Copies of this chain bind each other. A is one copy, B any other.
Amino acid sequence: MKKRIAKVDRQRELKERLSKDPFLTDEELTQIFNVSIQTIRLDRLELGIPELRERVKNVAEKNYSKVRSLGGKEIIGELIDLELGKSGISILETNGNMAFEKTNIIRGHHIFAQAESIAMAVIDAEVALTGVANIKYKTPVKAGNKLVAKAEVVRKRGNKFFVHVFIFESQKEVFRGKFILVSMK
């Protein structure tokens, strides 16, 4: 177990950590600093840092306007980073509606939808469709967990875009997919 640190030091480090990764949950922060969730919330309040949902939304809004191939509301997950034609990151907060009744494990097609969305969002094309996808589910995801999808355009040949997508849950890779998207115009 980590030793607790002085409040002033904790708040300085908290600010620094959240500036590097604005999508750390309060729960993750309690583990990092070994304090209660109330302490974290109080820290955020004192530092003027909004809750996760707000932070995600703030970042996402700046990114939607960059996307060419999709309408902003068509992306499954919140788009939190985008360099058009290169790479992008989205976050999906999973819930029970996306899961199998029996096991509470998120159904494959929801994870696929997040991956396909971010793959499509990153390419610099007006209209595109998925041509081919080779995908692998590596670890089951429980409902309620937060998925971070990272997409990278690895090659462009003619009207074909080759995009790799990796999805993580708490730093652990749960899915990887290779997509070939075809630009229609």
A-to-B contact residues, CB < 8 Å: 70-71, 74, 76, 100-103, 105, 107-109, 112-113, 116-117, 127, 129-137, 140, 184
Contact among B101, B102, B131 for A136, CB-based, below 8 A: B131
Q: Complex Cα distance A133/B176, Å?
A: 11
Q: Do B137 and A130 have beta carbons less than 8 Å apart?
A: yes
The DSSP consensus for interface residues of chain A is mixed
Can you spell out 23 A-B residue pairs with CB atoms less than 8 angstroms apart?
A71-B101, A71-B102, A74-B101, A74-B107, A100-B127, A102-B127, A103-B184, A108-B129, A108-B130, A109-B112, A109-B113, A112-B112, A112-B113, A112-B116, A112-B133, A113-B113, A129-B140, A130-B137, A132-B134, A132-B136, A132-B137, A133-B133, A134-B135
Q: Is the CB of B132 within 8 A of A135?
A: yes
Most buried by B among A117, A130, A132: A130
